[in-house]
Amino acid sequence: MRRLILTFTLLLFVASSFAGSINFTAKCSHKTVEVGQQFRVTYSVNASGGNFTPPSFEGFNSYGSGQSSNKQIVNGKRTIMNSISYILVATKTGNLKIEPAVFEYEGESYKSNPLKVEVVGADENSANAQRNRQNNRKGAAKELEDYIFIQPVVDKRSAYVGESITVTFKLYYQLNFGQLSPDKMPDYSGFWSKDISPTNRQDLPIERINGEQYQVVIVQKMLLTPQRAGDLEIGSMELNTVVQVKTQAGRNMFDRMRGYGVQNKEVRLVSKPIKITAKALPNKGKPTNFSGAVGQFNMSFKPNKTEVKSNEAIDFVVKISGNGNLPLIAAPKLNFPSDFEKYDPETKNNFKTNAGGSQGSKSFTYLAIPRHSGTFEIEPYTFNYFDPISKSYKEIGHEPIVIQVEKGADEENVVFTPRNKEEVELIGTDIRYLHINGVSLNSSKDRFYQSTLFYLLILLGLGSIGILFFLSRKLKEKSADTVGLKKSKANKLAKKRMAKAKKHLDANETAAFYEEISAALFGYYSDKFNISLAELSQEKIVELIDNKEIGNELKLVLDEAEMARFAPSAGGSPSDLYQKAISVISKTEGIA
C-alpha cells in the first residue's frame, strides 16, 4: 500500500533538482467542527518527489483527497509547493488528534505537525448541518459536488432596466478536472447579454469557503442588461467534466490492502439559478422621448461645417460617450429642416464592454444635403439618460446650430420635383427682351383716371347734354314766337286794309261795303306783288299766290263780294265776308 502511495506521489510530484530545507506542514481548515461536518486537512511540502504517508485519521471518515502543485520563481529561486488534502468528517465528539503524516525524501524522514480538532455536537440549525444532511440524503455519489462546483456570482441582485449586471460563473475546485464540456448554457431571457469571458483561462486567487481552500477559475463572464422590469432569472449552467478522485475505498481490510487509487469520475456540474430583480425606471421625471440610455454619459452634436453651398453635404455627428448601456443606444432621431435631404446615420462604436458595463463612445454620423439656399436652424437635439447612481434622469442639450446655405451654382438643376412637360419645353427658351419703344414715363400723378381732367371731362359731357337740352328748348320757344308775330302782323295789315270796309259795314252801307272788300283785296295784292291795279285780275292773283287753298278762299270771297254788290240779298252776312277777307290776307301773309 505504501508503495502504491509512493508511486502515486512520484508520478505526481515532478522530480526536480531542488536544494534547501524541507518544510513539511499540516493544516486543518477548522479548529472546531461539528459532527458530520466536512473539513479539510492539507499537507504541504516544498519539495518534489519523496514518499508521503498519510496518518490513519482515526475518529474521522476520509472522503478522498485532492492534490495540487504550485511552482513559483522568487528572486531567481525556484520554489515548489506540493500539497495534498483530505476531506474529513468527524464521527464522534471530543478533542481528537490527527497523527502526523510522514514524508520521506532523499532518505530522510520528515514528520508533519500533529493537528488537534475539537469536535462538538451538531447544531441542528446550522447551515453546515443542513448542508450535511442534504449531502447525506443525496448519497455518496453527490459528495463530489463539494470538491468541484460552479457558483454564479453577480455584482448586484437588483438593477434598473438598462443597467448593467455582471455575472461570473466561477468553477471552484479542489480536484483536478478534465475538459469542461458545456451541456446547457444559462438562459438569459429578459436580458441583453454579452459574453465578456476572458479569452485565456484565468485563475483567480484561491478562495476559502467554509474554511476550505478552493482554486477558482472563471468559466464564463457575462454582461447582462435587463430588458424589462420584474423578477428575472439567470438560468443554471450545466457542465460535464471528469475529475480525478483519489479513493480510499472502504474501511475494510481488503480495501486497505488495495490502498488509495485514482479514479476518473464523471461529474455533472449544475449551477443554481439566480434571481435578479429588474427595477423599472422611475416614471417621475421620465422624459417623453426617453432614449433608453442608462449610465453616465456625455453628448456632443456638431456639424463638420456650418457654411455651405446648396447641394453640398454636411456631416452632423452625434457623439455619446460615457459608461453605460452604450451598445443599446439607438441612433437619435434628428429633425432636419425639410429642405435637407437626409440619409440614415452611420454608427461608429468605439467602446469596450467589460464588467463595469460599456465604456467609450458611440457616434452617429448623419449625412444631410441642403437643397436650397437660406439660413436654417437645426432643431436642438436633447440626449437624455437615466443615471442609476443618482437615480434620476439627466438631459444633455446643445447650442442651436445655424447652417448658412449659400446658393450653389447648380441649385436649379437639382430640384427634385418633377417638372411637367410644358415647363421642360419652356426651359430651353429665353425671356423676351425689354420694352423700349412706346414707353411713356409718366409720373403716377399724371394718371388720367381720377385726375382733375377726367372729372372735368365727365362734367363737360354731362353738362353739355344739359346745355343742349336747354338750348333746344329755347330755340323751340323762339321759333314759336316768330310765327305768332308774323300772324299778328298780317292780321294787323289785313285789318288796316279792311278798315274802310269795316266802316261801311258798321254804317250798314252794304253796297259800299262789298265794293270796298273787292277794292281792298285788289289793292292789297297789287301792293303785295307790285303789280298795277290795271294789270291785276282775279286769275292773276290766284296764280301768283301759288297756293290752292288760299286761292280758292280768295276766289270765294271775291265772287261773293261781286254777287252781293248786284244782288244784296244773296250770299251770307257781310260780317262773315269781312272775316273771310281778313283771313285770306292773313294767310297770304303767313306763307310769303
Q: Is 417 in the site for another protein (CB under 8 A)?
A: yes
The residue within the footprint of another protein, chosen from 434, 485, 567, 570 (CB under 8 A), is: 434
Distance CA 2, CA 206 (A): 31
- CB nearer another protein, residue 136 or residue 454: 454
Task: Give me 27's grid cell.
Answer: 493544516
- CB nearer another protein, residue 406 or residue 509: 406
- CB nearer another protein, residue 412 or residue 506: 412
Q: Ramachandran region of residue 79, left (φ > 0), alpha (ψ -120 to 50) or beta?
A: beta
**What's the N-to-C CA distance of the chain in angstroms?**
192
Q: Is 402 in the site for another protein (CB under 8 A)?
A: no
Q: Is 477 in the site for another protein (CB under 8 A)?
A: no
Min CB(337)–another protein separation in Å: 7
Q: Is 381 in the site for another protein (CB under 8 A)?
A: no
- State the DSSP H helix or E strand holding residue 586, giving kind and residue range, or none if neither: helix 574-591
Q: Which stretch binds another protein (CB under 8 A): 119-127, 164-172, 197-205, 426-434?
A: 426-434
Q: Is 341 in the site for another protein (CB under 8 A)?
A: no
Task: Give me 67's grid cell.
Answer: 492534490
Q: Strand 102-105 to strand 51-53: parallel, antiparallel, or no bridges (unpaired)?
A: antiparallel
384 CB burial (10 A radius; 0-12, 13-18, 19+): buried
Site mask for another protein (CB under 8 A), range 297-336, x = bound: ----------------------------------------
- Cβ contact 304:315 at 8 Å: yes
Determine the size of the site formed for another protein (CB under 8 A). Answer: 48
Q: Is 591 in the site for another protein (CB under 8 A)?
A: no
Q: Is 480 in the site for another protein (CB under 8 A)?
A: no
Sequence-ordered alpha helix ranges (H) in 93-174: 127-138
Distance CA 504, CA 266 (A): 190
Instruction: Please report the sign of the dihedral spanned by the C-alpha atoms of residue 367, residue 373, residue 377, residue 379.
Output: negative
Q: Which stretch binds another protein (CB under 8 A): 149-157, 214-222, 285-293, 471-479?
A: 471-479
- CB nearer another protein, residue 330 or residue 460: 460
Min CB(490)–another protein separation in Å: 24
Distance CA 423, CA 442 (A): 36
Q: What angle do CA 6, 12, 16 make, to 5 degrees?
A: 95
- Cβ contact 45:102 at 8 Å: no
- CB nearer another protein, residue 120 or residue 456: 456
- CB nearer another protein, residue 258 or residue 342: 342
Q: Is 462 in the site for another protein (CB under 8 A)?
A: yes
Q: Which stretch binds another protein (CB under 8 A): 101-109, 170-178, 232-240, 441-449?
A: 441-449
Cβ-based neighbours of 586, under 8 Å, separated by 6 or more:
487, 490, 491, 494
Min CB(296)–another protein separation in Å: 33
Q: Is 414 in the site for another protein (CB under 8 A)?
A: no
Min CB(192)–another protein separation in Å: 37
- Cβ contact 283:27 at 8 Å: no
Q: What angle do CA 124, 125, 130 make, to 5 degrees?
A: 80
Q: Is 380 in the site for another protein (CB under 8 A)?
A: no
Interacting positions 191-250 with another protein (CB under 8 A)? none
Helices 499-506 and 510-529: crossing angle in degrees, nearest 10, is 170
Min CB(373)–another protein separation in Å: 5
- The binding site for another protein (CB under 8 A) comprises 337-339, 372-374, 376, 405, 407, 412, 415, 417, 419, 423, 426-427, 429-436, 439-450, 454, 457-458, 461-462, 464-465, 468-469, 471-472, 475
